[in-house]
Amino acid sequence: MLDTVVVTATSEADPGTPPATATSTLTTTAEATYGVTLLPPDTAQTALPGTVVTYTLALTNTGNLTDSVSLSTAGNAWPVTLPPTVTLAAGEGTNLAVTVTIPVTASGGITDTVTITATSSGNPGTTAQSVLATSTTAVPSRYSVWMPLIMVDWNSPE
């Protein structure tokens, strides 16, 4: 990034018309910096099988240039939905909705963990991660089955 400033100094004590002036041009260059944060670094939720759980993550471009940040998942067995790419101006942040679908067939007490990785397109070595742990609760028993009890005395004559 390049920034140029022109500075002009004018003498107030010079009786001449026009008064004496001096001009200088200053140029500064800032190196491109890429950075991303993804918060919280880890979080957990619990729900019943068949439920869609939504996590809200805060993604921020901490660099000094506009950057497209790609989002990916790893380590999960359950379906996860999130935007594939988000473009942010320098210093800009946004909230991401990440959903995890707990299968209907999941047993109670099971946990599935997914690692969300945000990667800068300007510098793919610049990343941030958040680990989401989604657990199932035991499915409440809604039905009881009662069978009749039939007693037979096989030794008794009829």
For the chain, the domains span 36-136
- pLDDT, mean over the chain: 91
pLDDT value of position 138: 83
CA angle 115, 120, 122 (to 5 degrees): 160
How far is residue 73's CA from residue 79's CA, in Å, rounded to a whole number? 10
Of all residues in the chain, the percent with pLDDT exceeding 90 is 68
130's tokens: 């958040």
Using 50, 70 and 90 to split pLDDT, how confident is the model at 144? low
pLDDT tens digits, 73-116: 999 999 999 999 999 999 999 999 999 999 999 998 999 999 99
Give, in words, the CATH class of 36-136.
mainly beta
User: Is the Cβ–Cβ distance between 36 and 91 less than 8 Å?
Assistant: no
**Over residues 40-62, mean pLDDT:** 97
Using 50, 70 and 90 to split pLDDT, how confident is the model at 1? low
How far is residue 135's CA from residue 109's CA, in Å, rounded to a whole number? 6
Enter the pTM of the model.
0.74
